[in-house]
Amino acid sequence: MRKKRLCPQCGAEIETYRNPFPTVDIIIEVGERIVLIERKNPPHGWALPGGFVDYGESLEEAAVREAREETGLEVRLKCQFYTYSEPNRDPRFHTITTVYVAEADGEPKGQDDALRARLFRPEEIPAEKLVFDHGRILADYLKWKYGKSDFLAPKAFQTKVPRCR
C-alpha cells in the first residue's frame, strides 16, 4: 500500500510503503509433546513460541532466538514447515509467518513475552484458547505428522493452496 508524505528535510513529496512484518513461529517437539506458551501481552491466550524477525537476522536465526527467549529451550531446527500470510492472521497488523518444526530436550520455562510455557500432547491442546491462526497451523502440523487432525476443530485447517509433499 503506497502513501504520499513530505520529506522532513527538503519538503519533497515521497512515497512510503506499508508492508507486512516478517515473523517466525516454532513447533517445538519434546518427545511426543509440543510446547505452547501462554502470552503475557495481548492478544492473551495460548500460542506457538515465535515473534518478529530482527533486522539483519535470518529466519532460522530468529526461530532459534525466539524459542530460547520464550521457552528457555535450545532447539534444533528439523525443517521449514509452511508460510502463513492471511492479512488477518494477527489482529494487531499484517504479518507473514514462516513456521519451523524443531526438537528440544528438557522442560520449557515461560520467559520474555511468555507468561508460562507448557508441554501438550496433541489431545491436550487447548484449541479454544489458541490465538492468531495457531489452531490452523497446529491442525496442519498434526495432519502432516500423524495423518489426522481431528485433535482440533475442522475449520482450523482449511488451506487455499496444497503443500508440497
Say what the pLDDT of residue 157 is.
45
Question: Quick one: pLDDT at residue 156?
Answer: 46
Question: What is each CA distance from 128 to 64, 66, 125, 151, 161, in whole angstroms?
Answer: 27, 24, 9, 12, 25
93 closest CA partner among 36, 18, 3, 12:
18
Secondary structure of residue 4 in the 3-state scheme: strand
Neighbours of 132 (CB within 10 A): 24
pTM over 0.75: yes
Measured in residues, the chain has a length of: 165
pLDDT tens by residue, the chain, 165 residues: 667 888 889 989 988 888 999 999 999 999 999 999 999 999 999 999 999 999 999 999 999 999 999 999 999 999 999 999 999 999 999 999 999 999 999 999 999 999 999 999 999 999 999 999 999 999 999 999 988 766 565 444 455 566 555
